[in-house]
C-alpha cells in the first residue's frame, strides 16, 4: 500500500524548508532536489494534488521573495562592500519579483508547477 503524506500548508512548508536547508548545507545538489520533489509529488494522492499545488506554489513564491529581499537588503546596506569576495556574480542573483496575493495563487496553472519539478 502506498505511503500517504500530508498536504497541509505546514507540512509542505516543512518539506520545502528541509530541501532549502539541504541545498544551503551542500547536502543535496539541484538535481537531487528535483528528484526528491518528483518522488514526493508521486506520493500525493491525485485528489489532493490541487491543494498541494496551491500550497507548494505559495510557499515557493514567499520563500523566493524573502530570499530576494534579504539579498538585496544586504547588498544595499553597504556591508557587502567589505565582503566583495562573498558577493555573488550579478548573473547568479535573482531580480526582485512582486509576490502575488493569495487570490492570485489559488488557481495556478499546471505548467508553472512542472517548472519546479
DSSP 96-116: P-PPPPHHHHSS--HHHHHHH
Specify the pTM: 0.64
Flag residues of the chain having pLDDT under 50: 101-117
The pLDDT assigned to 23 comes to: 94
CA distances from 106 to 5, 12, 17, 36 (A): 21, 15, 21, 24
Residue-wise pLDDT tens digits, 28-37: 999 999 999 9
Amino acid at each position: 500500500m502506498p505511503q500517504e503524506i500530508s498536504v497541509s500548508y505546514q507540512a509542505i512548508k516543512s518539506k520545502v524548508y528541509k530541501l532549502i536547508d539541504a541545498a544551503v548545507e551542500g547536502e543535496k545538489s539541484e538535481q537531487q532536489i528535483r528528484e526528491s520533489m518528483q518522488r514526493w509529488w508521486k506520493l500525493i494522492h491525485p485528489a489532493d494534488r490541487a491543494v498541494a499545488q496551491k500550497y507548494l506554489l505559495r510557499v515557493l513564491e514567499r520563500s523566493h521573495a524573502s530570499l530576494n529581499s534579504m539579498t538585496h537588503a544586504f547588498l544595499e546596506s553597504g556591508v557587502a562592500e567589505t565582503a566583495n569576495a562573498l558577493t555573488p556574480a550579478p548573473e547568479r542573483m535573482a531580480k526582485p519579483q512582486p509576490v502575488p496575493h493569495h487570490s492570485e495563487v489559488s488557481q495556478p496553472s499546471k505548467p508553472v508547477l512542472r517548472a519546479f519539478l
